[in-house]
Amino acid sequence: MKLECSKDKLSEAVSKASRLATNRNPGLPILSCLLLENKNNRLTIKATNLEIGVCLDVPVKTEKPGSVAVPGEILNNLLTNLPSGKNIKIEGRDGEIVVATEKNRSVIKTKDINDFPSIPETKSDAFSVSTKDFTNGLKSVWYSSTQSSIKPELSSVFIYTDSGEMVFVATDSFRLAEKRIKVKQNKDFGNVLLPYKNALEIVRVLEDETGETNIFLDKNQISLSSDGIYITSRLVDSSFPDYKQIISKEFETEAVILRQDLISALKLANVWSDKLNQINFLVSPAKKDLEVRTRHSELGENNCKLDAALSGKELDISFNIKYIADCLSSISSDSVSISLNDVSKPMVIRGVGDKSFLYLVMPMNR
């Protein structure tokens, strides 16, 4: 193998792929490698941890086609520390590659390419969506998944289509986030449970891309293709909870607040939050008063009044402050609405004028 290419384009692709090339499986050391395949003036960089695989194409000048398996961390560290804006030459030899720029020459030992696992290709019909909308859908909800593997359906992002929209949902049973994006193709996407860790990796690989992403689905696999990028992930074989039944359609208490005011109040309250991260909302529409309270047995307490439009009955209710703060970056509206019923039922948070995002959080027992 012998090629020449832009150092910056190669470094960007290797940086994205090398995140998957970790050495967490001592029985399969080849998984710490990137597979570099060079032919027809294109270098394809492949990485997989067996849960998710990625292929990234980089334009190159091919002098001699070939393939090598090279430790991802070493190649990424090398490229990260080389000067930007220069071309780079790579040449494969017996058991090693030489990576050279005008003033630097490095030799990296390689592994047997025959040990590198194949990355599956899905053959189903494609479903096309905006890449930015798709990654926004994942980013808006993934943090609500549980990190425990006891219930795999809760450590996943649930994706389905509904009336011309693609719906992303995640829950850890204490809070739930739902994001809807419009799609051009009114096609039944089916129900998909994507592991949240893989959702994160998909976002990291695709979030700078524009244009469209083609989605291919098999029974146990989802694949995404976008402008020289191919990603494939396993799916979870389980059933997501029937979440719609816990979302109330009517509320007894509602408040509309500037989003930034709520963010500031939560940051301040967090200074005094206890080990349970408890925060109290005292909503008093009759007194035109919305107060955020936190108390710490050793540090003291904080009471913060917010300007808000209030309606309904008075309510004093407790939540985990982190659960509320997590959702606010998923809301783009200047104002948010919080809707409540009683101390035992969940609060619903939305952006005012934006029906695409809904967040539900369960109250804490005091």
> Mean pLDDT, to the nearest integer, of 332-344?
95
Gap between the Cα atoms of 63 and 295, Å rounded: 68
> Mean pLDDT, to the nearest integer, of 83-87?
86
Q: Is the pLDDT of residue 361 over 80?
A: yes
In this structure, the chain runs to a length of 366
Gap between the Cα atoms of 95 and 118, Å rounded: 21
3-state SS class at 288:
coil
> Mean pLDDT, to the nearest integer, of 248-263?
96
Instruction: Give the whole-number percent of the chain exceeding pLDDT 90.
Output: 84
- What are the pLDDT digits (tens) for 116-143? 999 998 877 788 999 999 999 999 999 9
Instruction: Give how far Cα 221 sits from Cα of 5, 154, 342, Å.
Output: 33, 18, 42
3-state SS class at 366:
coil
Q: Is the pLDDT of residue 26 over 80?
A: no
Q: What is the pLDDT of residue 348?
A: 97
> Which two tokens mark 349?
């948070």
- What are the pLDDT digits (tens) for 163-215? 889 999 999 999 999 999 999 877 777 899 999 999 999 999 999 999 999 99
* Beta carbons within 10 angstroms of residue 278's beta carbon: 18
Per the model's pLDDT, the better-predicted residue between 251 and 122 turns out to be: 251
Q: What is the pLDDT of residue 189?
A: 76
Q: What is the pLDDT of residue 366?
A: 59
Q: What is the mean pLDDT of the chain?
A: 93
Beta carbons of 292 and 269 less than 8 angstroms apart: yes
Beta carbons of 313 and 327 less than 8 angstroms apart: no
Q: Tell me which residue of 50, 18, 12, 52 sits closest to 35, measured CA to CA.
A: 18
Q: Tell me which residue of 114, 297, 121, 308 sits closest to 224, measured CA to CA.
A: 121
Gap between the Cα atoms of 222 and 152, Å rounded: 17
> Mean pLDDT, to the nearest integer, of 135-164?
94
Q: Is the pLDDT of residue 321 over 90?
A: yes
Beta carbons of 348 and 360 less than 8 angstroms apart: yes
Beta carbons of 117 and 33 less than 8 angstroms apart: no
Q: What is the pLDDT of residue 186?
A: 73
3-state SS class at 340:
strand
In order, the DSSP letters of 76-92 are HHHHHTSPTT-EEEEEE
Q: Tell me which residue of 83, 112, 117, 100 sits closest to 8, measured CA to CA.
A: 83
Burial class (CB in 10 A: 0-12, 13-18, 19+), 330: buried
Gap between the Cα atoms of 296 and 31, Å rounded: 47
Q: What is the pLDDT of residue 124?
A: 79
Q: Is the pLDDT of residue 246 over 70?
A: yes
* Structure confidence at residue 86 as a pLDDT band (50, 70, 90): confident
Q: Is the pLDDT of residue 365 over 80?
A: no
Beta carbons of 339 and 243 less than 8 angstroms apart: no
Angle at which helix 72-80 crosses helix 7-18, to 10 degrees, equals 140
Angle at which helix 131-141 crosses helix 196-206, to 10 degrees, equals 140
For the chain, report the end-to-end CA distance as a whole number of angstroms.
Answer: 66
Q: What is the pLDDT of residue 230?
A: 97
Q: Is the pLDDT of residue 342 over 80?
A: yes
Per the model's pLDDT, the better-predicted residue between 149 and 229 turns out to be: 229
Gap between the Cα atoms of 225 and 131, Å rounded: 10
- What are the pLDDT digits (tens) for 271-310? 998 888 999 999 999 999 999 999 998 999 999 999 999 9
Q: What is the pLDDT of residue 23?
A: 66
CA gyration radius, the chain: 25
